Amino acid sequence: MPDSDFIQQDFQRRLRNIPPLGMGLSVDVYSPDLFELVNMLREQGVQPSYLEVFKATTTALTTVRQALPDIPLAYHGEGLWITQPDVQASPLFYQDVGETVTQLNRIQSLWLNHECATKQMAGYSFGTYVPPLYTRLSAEVVAANIMTVQQMMDRQGRRADGAAPLFLLEMPPLTYFSAGTIPVPHFFRLITALAPCGLVLDIGHLWTVYRYTGACRRLSLERFVEEFLGEFPLERVVEIHIAGLACHESIGESTGAAELPEWIDAHAAPIPSILFRVLEQVLAHQNLVSLRAVALEVDTKPIEMIVEEYAEAVRRFSPLIQQTMARGAAVEQSMELLSDQASVQEPVRQSDRQQLRDDYARYAQIISGQAAMTGPEWHDTAAEPAGITRYRTFYVPHEILNWGGDLAAMFPQTCRTLAERGISLTEFVTFWFRSPRPLTHSYDFFLLKIERFLEFVTERASDAQVCAQQEGDILRQAYAQANEVVEPVMEMERTG
Ligand SMILES: [Fe+2]
């Protein structure tokens, strides 16, 4: 049997362990309060068929499992940077996968969904997801990293029904730009030919691909979606996400009347009606044969808006989703599975990983504005540089200075002292990206921000160091109290 058939069979075998779920929500435990949200939905008679829960503390996730015994749960992971060629060289990666498996087991999750994106590359850190380089080699590396995670889940992750969670790879959003040498849907087709993973198709992310790859200048949205779905491995899509889009606060609404808005992924914002039209188009596609679930992704959104949007979406889409899932079930039943062996993949050569690591170092330098756009993967981006310019000029400084902790609020006295000396905080952005740093901890943007700011103050205004240290200590203590310390120990392998 050719390898790709073998991999497809492996996927099919794993898919059989996931029942059709229908419509649900992708949520955060804390924001908004999950129990308040579920109560409100129950009062309105629209309890979700399942919940996909974002990574939280293990204690919080255990509480969710116990408090909602009648709702199937799935897991939205974070912090496994599977796009990165050097991730498997770090013990932190195995520690992070171990923690993920512990959490999957605690909630008896059906799958591990993870964005095909990163917040750290080649020693540079970002606050929000950066999409992969869309190249052939990059796709091979993603597939190899997925296989490693899937194998760890196979060994250590077991539900009561004996099945291991399935790795689902989510196509990430674009934030004003994209870089690479192959089209986005082709990239995902290469991955699914090499790894037995499922996929999450996020309708809002798909819109950003239309908006920021130049497709919106050539095609209508409907035509673009049709072409995209013709190439994307839709037969691997297990879950669909739909969420809000909005203009970023650092940029605002000002666009020319003829232009599409410069929306980016924004879970707190209302879901634009245009995305529901795209959802209809996707659900009607004949290749969508593995669908199990559709979630409104609603973390950080006001509860009233969630309930209203969800009730309306159930009314409008439930029958269509049931139809789509039934069509898939018929196709599955007609399929004979020949093998029950797990797939293995050729390892990616060390020299190729090193090459890609160099490409990602350049990627980080380019998008943070330190280096000019050179290399074939930047050819199209450089030809239309408005998007990348926005990212470098507005988005990145906002991320370092304001997002995930506003520096002026975190270090009020130190920032006043710096201002008196004429030291602008924008110099901190340059400092942040000046050189790569070896990673010594699992990713935590808030703690990293504190650490880097203390280094910056030590270098630029050493007499403010004591004050900065005191302010940093208060922040760290409050943060530690808010988060339990999660034991990075894997759960014992189940036997028998
Ligand atoms: Fe999503």
Dig out the tokens for 182 from the structure. Answer: 């192959």
Say what the pTM is: 0.94
For residue 287, pLDDT beyond 50 = yes
The pLDDT-based confidence of 408 (bands split at 50, 70, 90) is very high
Q: For residues 369 and 388, what is the distance between their CA atoms, to the nearest angstrom?
A: 9
Inter-CA distances, 276 with 182, 242, 268, 270, 309, Å: 28, 8, 17, 12, 11
For residue 450, pLDDT beyond 70 = yes
What is the percent of the chain where pLDDT is above 90? 87
| Ligand 1 center to 145 CA (angstroms) | 20
CA angle 319, 322, 323 (to 5 degrees): 85
| Ligand 1 center to 305 CA (angstroms) | 18
Q: Which residue has the tokens 């171990």?
A: 98
What is the percent of the chain where pLDDT is above 70? 94
- Residue 480 contacts residue 472 (beta carbons within 8 Å): no
| Ligand 1 center to 75 CA (angstroms) | 12
For the chain, what is the mean pLDDT? 93
Q: For residues 207 and 90, what is the distance between their CA atoms, to the nearest angstrom?
A: 35
- Within its chain, how far is the Cα of 221 from the centroid? 23
Dig out the tokens for 131 from the structure. Answer: 């999409």
Torsion of CA 197, 147, 112, 238, to 10 degrees: 0
Q: For residues 496 and 481, what is the distance between their CA atoms, to the nearest angstrom?
A: 39
Helices 303-333 and 34-43: angle between axes, nearest 10 degrees:
80
The pLDDT-based confidence of 330 (bands split at 50, 70, 90) is confident
| Ligand 1 center to 451 CA (angstroms) | 30
Beta strands in 131-209 (DSSP E): 166-170, 198-202
| Ligand 1 center to 63 CA (angstroms) | 24
For residue 422, pLDDT beyond 80 = yes
The pLDDT-based confidence of 334 (bands split at 50, 70, 90) is confident
| Ligand 1 center to 460 CA (angstroms) | 40
| Ligand 1 center to 202 CA (angstroms) | 5
Q: Which residue has the tokens 């399935």?
A: 166
| Ligand 1 center to 71 CA (angstroms) | 20
| Ligand 1 center to 336 CA (angstroms) | 32
| Ligand 1 center to 94 CA (angstroms) | 24
| Ligand 1 center to 173 CA (angstroms) | 8
| Ligand 1 center to 170 CA (angstroms) | 7
Q: For residues 245 and 271, what is the distance between their CA atoms, to the nearest angstrom?
A: 6
| Ligand 1 center to 53 CA (angstroms) | 12
Which of 147, 94, 89 is CA-nearest to residue 123?
89
- Residue 109 contacts residue 73 (beta carbons within 8 Å): yes
Lowest mean pLDDT among 27-41, 117-131, 154-168, 330-344: 330-344
CB count within 10 Å of CB 73 equals 19
- Residue 369 contacts residue 395 (beta carbons within 8 Å): no
Burial class of 186 by CB neighbour count within 10 A (0 to 12, 13 to 18, 19+): middle
445-464: average pLDDT: 96
For residue 196, pLDDT beyond 90 = yes
- Within its chain, how far is the Cα of 135 from the centroid? 19
- Does residue 32 have a cis peptide bond before it, meaning omega lies within 30 degrees of 0? yes
| Ligand 1 center to 280 CA (angstroms) | 17
Helix (H, G, I), strand (E, B) or coil at 231: helix
pLDDT at 490: 35
The pLDDT-based confidence of 494 (bands split at 50, 70, 90) is very low
pLDDT at 484: 63
Burial class of 70 by CB neighbour count within 10 A (0 to 12, 13 to 18, 19+): exposed
| Ligand 1 center to 150 CA (angstroms) | 20
The pLDDT-based confidence of 252 (bands split at 50, 70, 90) is low
Q: For residues 358 and 376, what is the distance between their CA atoms, to the nearest angstrom?
A: 14
Lowest mean pLDDT among 257-271, 339-353, 429-443: 339-353
Contact partners, residue 117, CB within 8 Å, separation at least 6: 83, 129, 130, 131, 132, 172
For residue 488, pLDDT beyond 60 = no
367-390: average pLDDT: 94
Q: For residues 178 and 153, what is the distance between their CA atoms, to the nearest angstrom?
A: 31
How large is the C-alpha radius of gyration of the chain? 23
| Ligand 1 center to 334 CA (angstroms) | 31
- Residue 198 contacts residue 237 (beta carbons within 8 Å): yes
Dig out the tokens for 259 from the structure. Answer: 């232009």
| Ligand 1 center to 168 CA (angstroms) | 11
For residue 227, pLDDT beyond 60 = yes
| Ligand 1 center to 276 CA (angstroms) | 15
- Residue 459 contacts residue 430 (beta carbons within 8 Å): no
Dig out the tokens for 153 from the structure. Answer: 């889940």
- Residue 361 contacts residue 122 (beta carbons within 8 Å): yes
| Ligand 1 center to 1 CA (angstroms) | 34
Q: For residues 71 and 89, what is the distance between their CA atoms, to the nearest angstrom?
A: 38
In degrees and rounded to multiples of 5, residue 102 shows phi and psi of -55, -45
pLDDT at 142: 98
pLDDT at 4: 79
| Ligand 1 center to 310 CA (angstroms) | 16
Lowest mean pLDDT among 84-88, 123-127, 160-164, 469-473: 160-164
| Ligand 1 center to 297 CA (angstroms) | 6
| Ligand 1 center to 473 CA (angstroms) | 35
**β-pairing verdict for 263-265 and 245-247:** antiparallel
Which of 260, 271, 267, 195 is CA-nearest to residue 233?
195
pLDDT at 135: 98
pLDDT at 481: 87
400-404: average pLDDT: 95
For residue 493, pLDDT beyond 60 = no
- Cα dihedral across residues 393, 298, 223, 116: positive or negative: positive
| Ligand 1 center to 241 CA (angstroms) | 5
Instruction: List pLDDT tens digits, range 300-321.
Output: 999 999 999 999 999 999 999 9
